[in-house]
Amino acid sequence: MLRKKICMLGAFAVGKTSLVARFVRAHSTGALTDKYHTTVGVKIDTKIVDTGDQSVSLAIWDMAGEDDFQKARISNLTGAGGYLLVADGTRSKTLDTARSINERVVQSFGALPFVLVLNKTDLTEDWEIEETAIRQLIDRGWRVIRSSARSGAGVEEAFTLLTQLMLR
Amino acid sequence: MSTQSLIPQPKQNPAPPESQREQEVIAELRQLLLGTERAQAARLRPHLERINPHELGRVLPTAIRLRNDETSSSDQQLADALMPTVASALKVAVKRDPQSVADAIFPVMGPAIRQAVWHQFSQLVQQLDKKLQHGLSWQGLKWRIEAWQTKKSFAEIVLYHTLLYRVEHVYLIHRETGLLLEHAARGEVSESDAEIESGMLTAFKTGIQDLAHDLYKNEADASKSVMRVGELEFWFAQGPQVVLACVLRGAPPEEFYTGVMAPTIETIQRDYSAEIDEFEGDPAPFGPTRPLLEACLQESQREADSQGFRVSPYLLVPVAVIIIALAVWAFLTIRDNRRWREYLGRLEAEPGIVITETGARDGRYYVAGLRDPLAESPEAILARTSALAPDDVTGRWQPYQALDAEIVGKRVREILRPPDSVKLSLSDGALTASGSAPQAWIEQARRIAGIAPGVNSFREQGLIDEEILNIKAKMEAEVPRFIVGTARFAPGQDEKRRQLLDDVKRLFDLADRNRVAVRMEVTGHTDDTGAVEFNDRLSRERAEMVRALFIASGIDASRLTAIGVGSRQPVRADPQTNETEGAEMNRSVTFHISVDAGSQSGRQ
């Protein structure tokens, strides 16, 4: 089975860890590795994704989120096959952060497959990100998926889409 | 033109004659300068164009030998390269001609098997020894307490104290992605756990290396790194594209890196360079590295086993225990056997018991034989005389009639039930009875004594009818009294006189019937008043009167004598105490009866 490393990138408190937790659900070692977040700055989970043609074992590197994406942590991206860029739909500023993170990744590693995940769709009343802004990104070739770590909507799709992109 | 092919010819614009001339000069010069070498080169060309197998065959051994001499022993490249071929060649050889392979390795089989057996055995002894050492020693006790205090298992504590190091996990990690290529572990580890661990280790290592680089300007070669956390150590050997990570307990020596990890990562990096270059996330091509990783799962104990076969004092403890147990067992067995023999001796000596068989059955002593019901029971003898437990002895006894004097005596007593006044004695089958007994018993004894087994004859020795003695005693106690100065019974003694006559008749009647010689002496007495001569005569008259009375009643006169003793032998020697009574008692006659049963025998 193929193995791929992917990274969760995004501003602080956009729901990266929740997305991973929702995706891998009751993974046996999920609880065990949670504490590494605070100690190492990274937490790794695995999950097998079936894209239809092929099964892939994903090693999901979940970086502790801070708005400032430092060099020390960008080294963790080394060897990643792709990444999920996560933004919080209720805070438009996090989309800006996602954009700048993406720029830095492209600078360091070149163009890698990625999917923009707009999280927290369950909070419709607080939704801040304009549809036009999203449109623009899609026009630039970005893949965008709306998700809710709370309801689970879009979570599976985001990871599966990224996997398919990486296999292409 | 032999040189034509060797001279580059201009392809365009045919050269002017001048230039052609120049070319010819150069060619001539070349021929002059390099002619010999060119001929040699022409000769060598065919050799270079195809490799001659004969040539190769000649140089191959030399080449291999040279390679072995030149390179260090740690370079395994040639061996690695040849290994698959040699292995498959061996397989083919075994398949095609097993006999010749067997013949070839036969000489080494025996020593190899011996060595293997010896190795196993010494390992077993060592293990046992270690177990005992840990189980029995003061140190072992301390470790048990430690295990109890730290809530760890005893095995863990022992491992912790005796282990120099032990490699528990080996990961082969793709350096760039941190993805797991292959791993080996002691015990079961799930694939996804290993993946996570591999990723985490890479993250750790990268983080720490970055830290070392950024903060402390460490530019040193990072091919080897070691991290230590508590009892755990993480050793990394880094190749250009792959990382070998070992998780281990304890503190391995540097040789573990130089001798094990570094060569392993070098081999993998070299042999799998193509697979590593092409790695796109599929770990399958790295499956064959597993044996290499497993070879890294080493462990080393603190106590070197190189001392070979060695027995510690701790091993002597159970041996001593066994010896003591054997000694105790032997002592108890010997003691019990001695007791058993003593008991058998007692049984043999016991009248009425005959032993026919002895031995041991079902872990118990066994004795069988004959026993007279009158003999003492073997169980009672055992309980009375031996320390052996009754449960340790089985007895099987058949009843019989013994002829031992003691048993015969018992039996006779059982049959005859003699009164206490009779004394029975047995000698060589002759039963003798003496003493006195009721007439009925005496008559029964005469009838049946001889019937009893073991009795040949019955003798009576002074055996007297009890009644004779009773009458004798009764009469000798009688004191018939007389009127003062006369030989006439004092008044009021008629009944006594009649009784005396009945008694004396019965006495002599019984004596006759029992053939017992009975004689009676009647002695006359007086009080101490009056003259001695008178008293002597008066006393004689009193005795004679009674004798005459008895004769008159039919008693043979020869069996009766009468004497007078006057007042010399008074019945009451101290009449003063009661003068009237004492004097009266002294005016009397008394009787002395002698009984002689003699010896008579009655035969059946």
The full set of domain ranges for chain B reads 152-307, 315-399, 465-602
Q: What is the pLDDT of residue B1?
A: 42
Asked if the model's pLDDT at residue B225 lies above 80, the reply is no
* Residue of chain B whose alpha carbon sits nearest to that of A28: B193
Q: CA-CA distance, B236 to B231, in Å (whole number)?
A: 17
**Contact between residue B223 and residue B244 where contact means Cβ atoms under 8 Å apart:** no
Query: Does the distance separating the beta carbons of A44 and B196 come in below 8 Å?
Result: yes
Q: What is the pLDDT of residue A83?
A: 92
Tokens 């006495």 correspond to what residue? B507
Q: What is the pLDDT of residue A159?
A: 92
Q: What is the pLDDT of residue A35?
A: 46
Number of domains in chain A: 1
Asked if the model's pLDDT at residue B536 lies above 50, the reply is yes
Q: CA-CA distance, B225 to B240, in Å (whole number)?
A: 14
Asked if the model's pLDDT at residue B103 lies above 60, the reply is yes
CATH topology of domain B152-307: Beta-Lactamase (3.30.450)
Residues 166-205 of B with CB under 8 A from A: 174-180, 190, 192-193, 195-196, 199-200, 203-204
Candidates B560, B495, B491, B481; CA nearest to B527 is B481
Asked if the model's pLDDT at residue B219 lies above 70, the reply is no
Q: CA-CA distance, B367 to B355, in Å (whole number)?
A: 7
Mean pLDDT estimate for chain B:
81
Distances, alpha carbon A166 to alpha carbons A2, B35, B287, B487, in Å: 11, 65, 24, 168
| Lowest mean pLDDT, pick from B48-62, B113-127, B233-247 | B48-62
Q: Count A/B contacts: CB-CB distance under 8 Å.
A: 83
Q: What is the pLDDT of residue B174?
A: 86
> pLDDT tens digits for B521-530?
999 999 888 8
> pLDDT tens digits for A38-81?
445 677 888 888 888 888 988 888 876 555 555 446 777 888 89
**In A, which residues are within 8 Å of B229 by CB distance?**
none
Q: Show the domain range for A17.
A: 2-167
Q: Give domain B465-602's CATH superfamily.
A: OmpA-like domain (3.30.1330.60)
Asked if the model's pLDDT at residue B213 lies above 70, the reply is no
The winner for highest mean pLDDT among A74-78, A135-139, B57-61, B432-436 is A135-139
Region for B151 from its dihedrals, namely left if φ exceeds 0, alpha if ψ lies in -120 to 50, beta otherwise: left
Query: Does the distance separating the beta carbons of A81 and B200 come in below 8 Å?
Result: no
> pLDDT tens digits for B143-197?
888 888 888 877 777 777 777 788 888 999 888 787 888 888 887 666 667 777 7
Confidence of residue B102 (pLDDT cuts 50, 70, 90): confident
Q: CA-CA distance, B110 to B365, in Å (whole number)?
A: 51
Q: What is the pLDDT of residue B220?
A: 57
Q: CA-CA distance, A134 to A144, in Å (whole number)?
A: 8
Query: Does the distance separating the beta carbons of B196 and A33 come in below 8 Å?
Result: yes
Q: What is the pLDDT of residue A27?
A: 43
Asked if the model's pLDDT at residue B137 lies above 80, the reply is no
Q: What is the pLDDT of residue B221?
A: 55
Q: Which residues pair with A102 in a beta bridge?
A: none
Helix/strand/coil for B463: strand
Asked if the model's pLDDT at residue A144 lies above 90, the reply is yes
Confidence of residue B603 (pLDDT cuts 50, 70, 90): very low
Section B363-367 average pLDDT: 88
Q: CA-CA distance, B123 to B112, in Å (whole number)?
A: 16
Asked if the model's pLDDT at residue B592 lies above 70, the reply is yes
Tokens 């009164």 correspond to what residue? B419
> pLDDT tens digits for A68-120?
555 446 777 888 899 999 999 999 898 998 998 899 889 888 899 999 999 99
Section B205-211 average pLDDT: 68
ipTM of the complex: 0.75
- In a mutational test of the B interface, the residue from A1, A4, A5 whose CB has the highest number of chain B CBs within 10 Å is A5
